[in-house]
Amino acid sequence: MNTDLLNTMSKIYQTRNACHNYILGFTFKGVVYAVVIGSDDIAQFMKLDKASRGKGYSLRFKPTVAQKMSLLKDSQAICSVEFFDETVATCIYNRGEIFEKFVTELNGQTWEKDNLPFWEGPDLEVDGIGYQLKFEGATYMTESQMYKLMGEA
């Protein structure tokens, strides 16, 4: 694994992110969970992976079983995986977007799909605090985005 690239991408993502709080979604034993974490803890949930469409590498949220188990104590159950998957299968949105929708609505707000980049604003704001929302498998940032943010692209 390219540890230097992982560390560089993680640092740039965290310094350029418009907010420093996260709501991470994951499945475990048939349930979809959400957990709030801060910027001090986000790096441990970043993995280097291949990006799609020729964008080099990507920084992704791909928690291990051990990581999911460690997050459970602070997590909130959102719904069953079965309900979640049925919702995704019957609409035009992907898993990440449906996770955003569910979490937004659980916070008493109306969800609208947006394409706001992470460096411009949060996915959700609750009580004046901005959050980036990521569901397992989600991309935090691609290598090509990193170079653009660094002014090298």
Q: Greater confidence, 143 or 53?
A: 143
pLDDT confidence bin for 52, thresholds 50/70/90: confident
List pLDDT tens digits, range 56-85.
899 999 999 999 999 999 999 999 999 999
37, 111 Cβ separation under 8 angstroms: no
pLDDT band at 2 (very low <50, low <70, confident <90, very high): confident
Instruction: Kindly write down the DSSP assignment for every residue of 19-48, as one continuous string.
Output: -SEEEEEEEETTEEEEEEEEHHHHGGG-EE
Burial of 65 (0-12, 13-18, 19+ CB in 10 A): exposed
What average pLDDT does range 125-146 have in this prediction?
94
- Per-residue DSSP letters for 120-136? T--SEEETTEEEEEEET
Model confidence pTM above 0.85? yes
pLDDT of residue 50: 87
Return the structure tokens found at 127: 């009580």
Phi, psi (rounded to 5 degrees) for 118: -60, -25
Give the integer Cα–Cα distance in Å for 94 and 98. Answer: 6
The pLDDT confidence band at residue 1, using thresholds 50, 70 and 90, is: low
